[in-house]
């Protein structure tokens, strides 16, 4: 498995548009901590970025020898808002960005059944360039529950359209995230996102879901005890022979620097891998 660090490490949980460090510093941090790739988001470079910013990012990645595991090219997808699916109706700029950064996949969003037809067309265009489209397990989307994920991916029915498996979002939605679910969705798992939380009624954060109403929780570091059972997650991934990318998809928590967070999580995940 390839360890990837999301540039979200340099974002706040509720503020995903401003980066707290430049791409060069972030690339070198990831390299020092033992990651092989960055997961690129619009806070660093996206379809809105001027060409010189994209070229700078590409140069930093080449200098450090890091791959780009995935691109999320706009803020609407990041925020999973009502405009999130708009990339599906104009996927070309996202493909151009992914190709320049050498990324094999692009994250997209689906909110309603009518988005499925757009997803098929976008996947067909992406396939012409050898690029995958993926959707994260995510609240307030067609990828909330295991049943909905399976139904939607079956309806899209494109070999290059798959899933970013993310156990924390499944847990928020009251779904099993262990081996049985991983086996059920295995053929679509193109990427894995990891973040951690403690579900609690008085949690500091609350997210709405379609399937279960509001859910409260505290964010904790991936390498902190409690929260998501990562032993179960990796047992399931190994059972299906998953050998792809595992991405740390979480900002640094209070009391730790981005480097402390990235380093501690990398050490923890290497032990599980």
Task: Indicate the Cα dihedral angle 104, 110, 114, 117, nearest 10°.
Answer: 10
20 band by pLDDT with thresholds 50, 70 and 90: confident
Domain residues for 244?
2-197+229-272
In a domain? residue 145? yes
- Range in 1-15, 47-61, 151-165 the model is least confident about: 1-15
Instruction: Look over the chain and give the mean of its residue pLDDT values, rounded to a whole number.
Output: 96
pLDDT of residue 197: 97
Its pTM stands at: 0.96
Helix or strand holding residue 232 (H, E)? helix 230-239
Q: Residue 13: is its pLDDT beyond 80?
A: no
Question: How far is 63 from 268, CA to CA, in rounded Å?
Answer: 26
In a domain? residue 208? no
pLDDT of residue 261: 92
Question: How far is 114 from 98, CA to CA, in rounded Å?
Answer: 25
Task: Give how many domains the chain has, as a whole number.
Answer: 1
pLDDT of residue 12: 62
Question: How far is 117 from 193, CA to CA, in rounded Å?
Answer: 26
Q: Residue 255: is its pLDDT beyond 70?
A: yes
In a domain? residue 122? yes
Whose tokens are 């997808």? That residue is 77
- DSSP 8-state symbol, 252: P
| Average of per-residue pLDDT across 76-101 | 97
In a domain? residue 206? no
In a domain? residue 175? yes
Which letter, b or e, does each residue of 111-142 get, where b requires 16 or more Cβ atoms within 10 Å of its Cβ? beeebbebbeebbeebeeeebbbbbbbbbbbb
Structure tokens at 260: 């402390």
Pairing of strands 213-220, 205-209: antiparallel
Nearest to 7 by CA among 35, 185, 244, 165: 35
Backbone angles phi, psi at 70, to 5 degrees: -165, 155
89-117 pLDDT, tens per residue?
999 999 999 999 999 999 999 999 999 99
247 band by pLDDT with thresholds 50, 70 and 90: very high
pLDDT of residue 157: 98
Question: How far is 118 from 47, CA to CA, in rounded Å?
Answer: 19
The CATH number of the domain where 50 resides is what?
3.20.20.150
Pairing of strands 37-41, 2-6: parallel
Whose tokens are 């929780």? That residue is 217
Structure tokens at 138: 């995510």
Q: What percent of the chain has pLDDT over 70?
A: 99
In a domain? residue 213? no
pLDDT of residue 14: 61
16 band by pLDDT with thresholds 50, 70 and 90: confident
In a domain? residue 97? yes
Q: Residue 258: is its pLDDT beyond 70?
A: yes
40 band by pLDDT with thresholds 50, 70 and 90: very high
Nearest to 158 by CA among 128, 136, 189, 127: 127
Q: Residue 194: is its pLDDT beyond 90?
A: yes
Task: Answer with the residue of higher pLDDT: 253 or 143.
Answer: 143
Q: Residue 18: is its pLDDT beyond 80?
A: no
- Is the CB of residue 81 less than 8 Å from the CB of residue 46? no
In a domain? residue 250? yes
- Is the CB of residue 137 less than 8 Å from the CB of residue 169? yes
pLDDT of residue 28: 96
Structure tokens at 176: 């099993």
Q: Residue 60: is its pLDDT beyond 70?
A: yes
Structure tokens at 15: 């503020």
């Amino acid at each position: 498995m390839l360890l990837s660090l999301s540039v979200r490490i340099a974002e706040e949980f509720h503020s995903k548009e401003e980066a707290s460090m430049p791409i060069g510093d972030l690339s070198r941090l990831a390299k020092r901590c033992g990651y092989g790739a960055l997961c690129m988001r619009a806070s660093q470079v996206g379809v809105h970025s001027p060409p010189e910013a994209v070229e700078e990012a590409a140069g930093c990645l080449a200098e450090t020898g890091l791959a780009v595991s995935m691109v999320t090219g706009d803020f609407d997808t990041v925020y999973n808002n009502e405009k999130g699916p708009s990339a599906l109706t104009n996927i070309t700029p996202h493909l151009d960005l992914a190709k320049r950064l050498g990324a094999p996949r692009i994250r997209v969003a689906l909110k309603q059944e009518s988005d499925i037809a757009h997803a098929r067309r976008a996947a067909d265009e992406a396939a012409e360039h050898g690029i995958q489209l993926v959707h994260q397990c995510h609240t307030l989307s067609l990828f909330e529950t295991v049943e909905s994920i399976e139904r939607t991916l079956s309806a899209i029915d494109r070999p290059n359209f798959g899933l970013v498996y993310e156990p924390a979002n499944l847990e928020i939605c009251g779904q099993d995230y262990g081996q049985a679910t991983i086996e059920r969705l295995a053929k679509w798992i193109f990427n894995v996102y990891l973040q951690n939380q403690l579900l609690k009624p008085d949690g500091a954060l609350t997210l709405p879901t379609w399937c279960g109403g509001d859910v409260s929780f505290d964010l904790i570091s991936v390498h902190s005890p409690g929260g998501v059972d990562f032993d179960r997650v990796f047992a399931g991934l190994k059972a299906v022979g998953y050998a792809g990318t595992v991405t740390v998809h979480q900002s640094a928590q209070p009391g730790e620097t981005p480097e402390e967070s990235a380093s501690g999580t990398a050490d923890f995940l290497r032990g599980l891998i």
